[in-house]
Amino acid sequence: MYKVIAIIVLIFVIITLAKIYLNRKWKLIFTTFGHENYFKVVAKLKNAGVKYKIKTPLNVNDRQRFNDNSQYDIYVKKEEEHLAQRAMHQSD
> Is residue 37 in some structural domain?
yes
User: Beta partners for 31?
Assistant: 73
- By residue range, what is the domain housing residue 47? 25-88
> Is residue 58 in some structural domain?
yes
> Is residue 54 in some structural domain?
yes
Q: How confident is the model at residue 57 (pLDDT cuts 50, 70, 90)?
A: confident
Q: What is the CATH number of the domain that holds 52?
A: 3.30.70.260
Output the pLDDT for position 60: 57
**What burial class does residue 68 get, using C-beta atoms within 10 Å of its C-beta: 0-12 exposed, 13-18 middle, 19+ buried?**
exposed
- Structural domains counted in the chain: 1
> Is residue 14 in some structural domain?
no
Section 73-88 average pLDDT: 92
